[in-house]
Structure 1
Amino acid sequence: MERRCADSQVKGVSTGTTILAATFDGGVVIGSDSRASMGGEYVSSKTINKVIQVHDRIFCCMAGSLADAQAVTKAAKFHLSFHSVQMETPPLVISAASVLKELCYKNKDELQAGFITAGWDRKKGPQVYVVSLGGMLISQPVTIGGSGSTYIYGYVDAKYKPNMSREECLQFATNVSSPPCRQKLSSQSLQRGSTMDGTGPEWLSEEVKTGTTIIAIEYDGGVVLGSDSRVSAGESVVNRVMNKLSLLHDKIYCALSGSAADAQTIAEMVNYQLDVHSIEIGEDPQVRSAATLVRNISYKYKEELSAHLIVAGWDRREGGQVFATLNGLLTRQPFAVGGSGSSYVYGFVDAEYRKGMSKEECQQFVVNTLALAMSRDGSSGGVAYLVTIDEHSTEEKVILGNDLPTFFDQ
């Protein structure tokens, strides 16, 4: 016992845990187990509350290093209280999740903690957000995390239904919490609840990657961007329907690949800078300006960042344009592909692309490319997101997995 206690002083307290958050019709349920362990061997507390209230109707669950998690939630609570006083209105749930995201991303080299944030606000009602170790932010109707989550993925996928009643959701959360408490040693003791929860297996204890396939192509008068929707961390699929096509300005989008936290942060910075730039010049920014901002950030922080963005859009000066920005390189191309699935489709895009394709032909070209990559790349999958941009409109479209084209061996 003395040896274990001595070890725990060095290793710190980690919440080997099981956490959960789920939306129901009109609200959310968030919950966790109550065991905290030191070094995975010594149980330091059997009744610790991992569901923390950060504002009136916003809670978060934590996993990983308990010291890190408590420090981050304390800072987030202060930021949200200050924000509420300044704005004279309660903060939105997304604001709380964004504060946690910024804190995690800013300190990602030092922190060993991940969070689930859940709550209710007047603007969007009930919401659940995951904030991973690296600072990635995603929204999901139901999510689980912690060391015990491995045992219940199948149960959650099979039993969760949108728009459950309050009572059904509470029973669902209780059922989810029970199997890990029997199967996973570090996720035992009491079940905590407050209609909220948080943590993850790999996706909250490891940096989350958008192992992905992204593509953009020019046509006469506009561009088409596309991506798959799978987000992975190691062998775990974190999110199956994440939209990796991010709006930078009215007619400028970017496709994200690499570290999800890094890619999201770059897109947010460029979106803000383009808004300021647009106000300064009194007109919409050029696509090249957006691509240059991405290139500058990527090059300046190329040793720290792990992300590849394809920037595409339309402006009055040059029409539809596609730019690749890998590692700070900036190059305009008639089409560009990226992500882990791109290696499987280079031969296809090189053989099938031709100048002067119509809008409809480009859309089909993008869909076929994504379908082929998703059938071969283990990190790509889910649904296909498409954005088509021209002078007159910006059209967003989702193609479900069973509607994607099939090929030879499918």
Structure 2
Amino acid sequence: MSAYPPPRSLRGWCDGWLIRVPRDAGIIPPNLSGTYRGENMEESPGAVKTGTSTVGITFDGGVVVGADHRATMGHFVANKSVQKLFKIGNNLALTTAGLVGHAQSLARTLAAEVSLFELRRGDSMTVRGAATLTANILSGRPHWVQLLIVGVDSEGGSVYSIDSAGGSIPDTYCATGSGSPYMYGVLEDGFSENMSRKDAVALAARALSASAQRDAASGNGMDLAVITAKEGYVPVDQSEIAAALKK
């Protein structure tokens, strides 16, 4: 008999990812078990998860990326101002869902690796390169996270969804976290190829707002940023977000 419970959905680990992986298959090493030591993460009082709704949307000339602010510990709202959107390069951003400690560690690591790459090469890392780097880190040492790597390079705006074991999938738009089912309805209805910056920002804001209204693990405001080849990473002002939500 295995010392670990039978395989279960990664939905409980990453609040939104839908693949199934055996815990005893060597994919999640024992030293990553942290506080749970084999129990369900939901039952561990020390496991603070970001719950989370994050979104990335490509538009004509760039990409919009955003995330909410809430962190949960089981059914308890542990924090109302957690950072889940990180600038990891002037042309790159990261969003995180999953365990807060793992997410913050990865954000620091990726920002350092991107900066080192730029110093060595004298050029910006591509979005695909950043996604591959992230996937390689996770495939070698899985974390309880689900990530978006978004950015702009010579090929335009790109969005990559990356799971806890290093699976990397590109798309024109993507939502992650426990609020993703509620966001996808808004995104499917409102997305169009080569949409304007203004429309993409409004769509991202509406999607995050929809998740906050229905998902108990998401909410307490949002952060949005726009990345373009000309201006790089630029945070969206809260007044613009508020105006978009009034429409």
Paired amino acid for 1:259: L
| Alignment match of 2:227 (pick from 389, 393, 410) | 389
CA distance in structure 1 between the aligned counterparts of 2:65 and 2:184, rounded to whole angstroms: 16
1:322 aligned to which of 159, 182, 186:
159
Is 1:371 the equivalent of 2:209?
yes
C-alpha displacement of 1:314? 1.3
Give the gaps of 5 or more residues in structure 1.
1-105, 113-133, 135-201
Name the residue aligned to 1:47.
Answer: none
- Partner of residue 249 from structure 1, selected from 89, 97, 117: 89
Check conservation: 1:209, 1:231, Cα contact below 8 A.
Answer: yes
Correspondent of 1:285 among 101, 122, 125: 125
Whether the 8 Å CA contact 1:220–1:356 is kept in 2: the answer is: yes
Alpha-carbon shift at residue 109 of structure 1 (Å):
2.8
Residue pair 2:50, 2:71 contacting (<8 A) in 1 also: yes
C-alpha distance in 1 between matches for 2:35 and 2:212 = 35
Name the aligned partner's letter for residue 191 of structure 2.
Answer: Y
Partner of 1:356: 194
Counterpart in 2 of 1:270?
A: 110
Per the alignment, residue 149 of structure 2 pairs with 311
Mean alpha-carbon deviation: is it higher for 324-333 or for 215-224? Answer: 324-333
Could you state the TM-score of these two structures normalised by the residue count of structure 2? 0.77
The structure whose RCO (Cα within 8 Å, separation 6+) is larger is 2
Cα deviation for residue 404 of structure 1 reads 7.2
Equivalent in 140, 162, 185 of residue 300 of structure 1: 140
Question: Counterparts of 1:63-82 in structure 2 under 5 Å?
Answer: none
Instruction: Count residues in correspondence.
Output: 210
- Contact 1:225–1:387 (8 Å) recurs in 2: yes
Asked whether the equivalents of residues 371 and 404 of structure 1 are also in contact (C-alpha less than 8 Å), the reply is: no
Kept after mapping to 1: 8 A contact 2:146/2:176: yes
Distance 1:107 1:324, change over 3 A: closer
Cα distance in 1 between the residues matched to 2:162 and 2:90? 20
Any gaps of 5 or more consecutive residues in structure 2? 1-30
AA of the residue aligned to 1:252: L
How well do the aligned residues superpose, as a CA RMSD in angstroms? 2.7
Contact 2:67 2:84 in 1 (8 A): yes
1:337 Cα deviation from its structure 2 partner = 0.4
Query: Among the aligned pairs, what percent are the same residue?
Result: 27
Evaluate the alpha carbon distance shift between residue 341 and residue 349 of structure 1 in structure 2; reply closer, same or farther with a 3 A threshold: same
2:34 match = 109
3-state SS, counterpart of residue 345 of structure 1: helix
Query: Given that residues 383 and 398 in structure 1 are in contact (C-alpha distance below 8 angstroms), is that contact kept between their aligned partners in structure 2?
Result: no
Contact 2:68 2:219 in 1 (8 A): yes
SS in 2 for 1:313: strand
CA distance in 2, matches of 1:337, 1:363: 14
